[in-house]
Amino acid sequence: MKLDTSPIAAIATAPGRGGIGVVRASGKSLAPLLAALFPDVALSPRRATYIPFRQADGAVIDQGIALYFKGPNSYTGEDVLELQGHGGPIVLQMLLARVLEAGAEAGLRLAEPGEFTRRAYLNDKLDLAQAEAVADLIDASTEAAAKSATQSLSGAFSKTINTLVEQTTGLRMLVEATLDFPEEEIDFLEKSDARGQLAVIVASLERVFQQAAQGALLREGLNVVLVGQPNVGKSSLLNALAGADVAIVTPIAGTTRDKVSETIQIEGIPLNIIDTAGIRTIDDAVDVVERIGIERTWGEVARADVILHLLDADQGPTRADDGIVAAFPAGVPVLRVWNKIDLSGHKPSVDPAEEATNIYLSAHEHVGMDLLRAELLRIAGWQQTGESLFLARERHLIALRSAQKHLALAGEHAAQNDQSLDLFAEELRLAQAQLSSITGQFSSDDLLGVIFSRFCIGK
Ligand code: GDP
Ligand code: ZN
């Protein structure tokens, strides 16, 4: 992404047709653009103005609402102009072209992806975690995910992180002040209850990690691959899980020619389910085309978070199933789902075995489906804590884990008593840097400021 700060413009609404469509521009000063677009009218900030959008020669492109936000009171913190026109691809392209033309002299250019939000971050309208939440809210695939993204966007996650940073800074401040006065080092750990303070930080960090890890599930979901011989009921199971007819179900073996993928949700966790064509091992391939298809399917299996291996409970496993099981990638959990228990007479149940958990159900009769859902949630690591969740990203989880590691090391130094106070302080600094990287507000200089503003050096 370019770092230049020239004014930018883009179509802000999704491609395709809609009731309205928005062209948005942002820049340190949009006065030249406004003057070129609307020579006869001075738009007042934060006021909707119904106005014709004209070509340079005066021809009307569209008639709509112009909204002008004077910086810093805008999304990006710069001047922002929004033109709301009719939501057709051609009219919006024309409008955008006109805006770019009108702003050309002022250096207006097409915005890069995410550049409006990036400017909001650079202008302190949002911190890094909030900026990420904007994208996550737009990308949310379930209501629960959207709710958590809104939490993060509103700053709840950042606030929690900032509290941890403050606590860590506070403790470090104590330690560093003591380092300057060696004679006080002796009883420092006891007097200041540094260990107690550290324990409090460690405990709240663990809680935040759990909230973030659960939230990450809402964001990432689970990749589920359905494998099994033709006619065991893969499509029926997908339908039963989805609650709608998304896959074709017929009694003719081998109907699912290509993979059918469907995202469903269980308790708000998106499950991306891929129904593979009756999978076979590569040795069984008849020709090159089939070989490629089989390879692609095994590629999906290798990337899965969980494999649903479907079998016919009435007919029992086939020899082909043995071959498939032997080829399953190591480390991917397998649920062995015995379908059609209405025919076999099994009871709906879950039977954990060493190599794979067995589940007995009937997709067609919708019996035992709740057992399967519960197993999928268990594998996902979902816990209903009732606590609000933060729609965290992998980056956040890594930073939180790393901060935990440094706090643990700090604890070890604290346990060795006064010899290693400087190491204790150093680990606190590293933990703090990790936490601050989440909101993007790390600056190593703030610590000195905190120390000298809050500590009387003559003490
Ligand atoms: P796929 O080839 O593995 O996708 O299998 P389908 O979902 O297309 O199902 C094959 C046949 O088995 C269809 O006629 C389904 O109605 C039937 N079937 C699927 N699940 C069940 C079940 O639980 N009980 C019974 N009796 N039939 C089922
Ligand atoms: Zn099928």
Q: pLDDT for 116-136, tens place per residue?
A: 888 888 898 988 888 888 888
pLDDT of residue 97: 95
pLDDT of residue 85: 95
Helix ranges restricted to H, 180-260: 188-191, 194-220, 234-242
For residue 234, report the distance from its CA to the centre of ligand 2, in Å. Answer: 5
Q: What separation in angstroms does the CA of 117 have from each of 2, 114, 125, 271? A: 14, 5, 9, 29
276 is in an annotated binding site: yes
For residue 83, report the distance from its CA to the centre of ligand 1, in Å. Answer: 53
Please name the residues in contact with 76: beta carbons below 8 A apart, sequence gap of 6 or more: 26, 116, 117, 119, 120, 123, 125
Query: CATH topology for 127-459?
Result: Rossmann fold (3.40.50)
Looking from the CA of residue 228, the nearest atom of ligand 1 is 3
End-to-end CA distance of the chain: 50
CA gap 325, 295 in Å, rounded: 16
> Token pair for residue 167?
């606590």
Q: Which residues line ligand 1 (CB under 6 A)?
A: 228, 230-236, 249-251, 255-256, 339-340, 342-343, 362-365
- Reference 168, options 197, 188, 196; nearest CA is 197
Q: Where residue 445 falls among pLDDT bands split at 50, 70, 90?
A: very low
42 is in an annotated binding site: no
Give yes or no on whether 8-125 and 127-459 have one common fold.
no
pLDDT at 442 over 60: no
234 is in an annotated binding site: yes
Q: Which of 245, 249, 342 to mutate to test the pocket of ligand 1 (most atoms within 8 A of CB)?
A: 249
* Mean of per-residue pLDDT scores for the chain: 84
Query: CATH topology for 8-125?
Result: Gyrase A; domain 2 (3.30.1360)
User: Which residue lies with its CA nearest to atom 2 of ligand 1?
Assistant: 231
Q: What residue spans define the domains of the chain?
A: 8-125, 127-459
User: Which residue lies with its CA nearest to atom 28 of ligand 1?
Assistant: 364
254 is in an annotated binding site: yes
Q: Walk across the sheet containing 222-228 and list its strands.
A: 260-266, 269-275, 222-228, 306-312, 334-339, 357-360, 349-351
Q: Which ligand is nearest to the CA of 362?
A: 1
Q: What separation in angstroms does the CA of 253 have from each of 19, 37, 80, 304, 430? A: 45, 64, 59, 25, 59
Looking from the CA of residue 339, the nearest atom of ligand 1 is 23
